[in-house]
Structure 1
Amino acid sequence: MGVFNLALLGKQAWRLMQHQKSLLGKVMVAKYFKHSAFLESSLGFAGSYSWTSIWSSKPLFQEGLIWRVGKGDQINIWDDAWVADELGSKIVSKKIANVEKVKDLIDLDSGEWKHDFISENFCDRDVKCILSIPLSMRLPCDEQIWAFSKDGRYSVKIAYFLGKSCNLDNFHKAWVIIWGLNVTPKIRRFLWRVGIGTLPVREYLVYSHMSTDKVCPCCSTEAETMRHAFLDCPTVKDLWTEVGCEKLIWSAGITFADFLVEWKERFSSIIHVGAILLWKIWNRRNDIVFNSVEVSHCTVIERTKALSTDIAAYAEKIYGGIGALLFPLVLRYGNRLLMMLLR
């Protein structure tokens, strides 16, 4: 929740930076950063609750900011974020005397990079990054944009996942995989909650101030985290092997979304069985919590295999040989989609 709040506050920081002539912008500028830009402003003393809150979002906000090169007169070559690759958004080469602004690397007459100068004074990584940036003949003003969105505007959603240190590409792939699984809609919704970390395990309930008891209701030995509930609890460890899904156990420190992508790439033939097993483990846990009934391992295994077989048989019977492809889509969008596809 703390990261989400910072992501929301980052939206206000973006507005302050982009719309300083708005009423909010004029008030904040006059009171808190009259002689500097927002990103260079200090917290100061006796600031309002609004200002301290917005200011606290700066570290997360700055993670996604990058300069779009125009004239290059506002961008510091060595300190600002203006290049982009897997190593980061700043130049790593040694500083060059009397060369401070990006405009020093641009031939203003032709509107092109100074290829020879750049190749001689920057490392190979920096040369590749700099020369890959397109320049406009009009040489517009430099502009700060949000690097992780298509339109360059700040995104609360992306900032949240950035704050959670998620792999954004894998996160989006994971949702495509979940909504395309050959399982029932309630299992897909369940997997979605597992992926975003909002399943009401004991640790999450304590974090949300809804409970004070972290202990796992199944083993009563350790705190019930998401990973413990599905993988590490002594009462469920053997289930993965007995169902034939031991390859699907993900390593500690890896998010469920990241590993779900790996599931799809390496173990696509059993991924739906693993999804059903997760669902049945959760059902077993809830039977203990709410009904004081402990379902045996054999029963969990039988129910997992039976549901997996039933879903596959239903898809084959109703939709024929293309059932594996169409069944997830029909479950999501209804039979109208099927009729459209079969026309």
Structure 2
Amino acid sequence: MSAMQFPIGAVECFNKKRRAFMWSGQEKTTGAQCLIAWDRVCQSKENGGLGIKQLGMQNQCLLLKLIHRLFHPGDSSLAAWAREQVSLTTLEGDVDGDHWTALRSLLPVYQSITTVQIGNGRSTAFWEDNWLDDCALNVSYPALFTHVYRPGASVHDVLEHGLRHFLVPRLSTVASNELAALEALLTNITLTNDEDERVCPLAAPNGQLKSAPLYKLAMQNEGEPCNFFEFVWHNRAPPRIQFFAWLLVHGRIQCKTNLLTKHVVDNDVCDICHSSAETPDHIISQCPFAASFWERIGFSAHNMPQVAELWTVSLPAHILRQHSDTFLLLCCWQLWKHRHDVVFRHMDPSLPRLLRSCRDEAMLWRCRLPIHDRGVVDNWCVMFQM
């Protein structure tokens, strides 16, 4: 992934395998088994996803490291050879192939995340690099840039031959005004014999560019920050239950309304109350059996929020606030497992059995809490006693 750009078809083949493994544990999967769209899955946890790596984006971030190596060759003989074959301002030269085409397409991205302290100006693109103002000159002087016939010229070439040498003969009024302003700034620029110094804020102190901060920055724009991040991920529940919670707040746990949409079942009637549609909200709080469970441990069943906002529930006074999110997930998980027993094991609904399973599960989770907080579990177990 760090040597070449993956073809789109190859990325899709890899994603098919990853989707199948995630949703079914098999080599292949069906749409009915995929509970949430893959694009959503690949978003960061902060933005509502699972943080699964998006291969195409990760591939590009790794290739950006190669471009960074060209500008910071160090002891790399490959980088030294490449610098002799191509112009660093455009990556054009005596090289060809899909590899270089991919690097050229990513060069604007690299230029946007770096700034340059000018030395001799030979490796700095006059228009695309951030070297004079807070942003690239093609952004600061857009009208003038439309009159440029050689946009890949270096700072050295422009200052040596003059800016007008790289412009078409006739300029618009706006472009002429921008030209005058830019020429005034260039009078203060003096080149030296030193190499240009390119700085990237995402690079490590030793100058190496890591792909992780690049990927995180790139994925920030994928989706919007979600309001359930803390509830789902910042708790002491096991990873399996956190995954369940993630599906729950999206309304995508396996329930009959979702299965009916996928033509897996013939109806969506709840198998416990036999009176309402089995939705995620019905399973967790609206079913009379679920309501009796919440009432038994001190909650007001009528005031239970929807699963998409479960963390906003008003906690009874007798429930400790410490690790309350973990407590809520424990209850929701056992409610869902109890329904599983009723549907697939043909067991009768039983509130005592549900409370007992909650108490047993709480004791298993006890070791997941910090030692000084494990007394919280004793508070939970008191509520689960009949």
TM-score (norm 1): 0.42
Higher helix share: 1
Q: Which has the larger radius of gyration?
A: 2
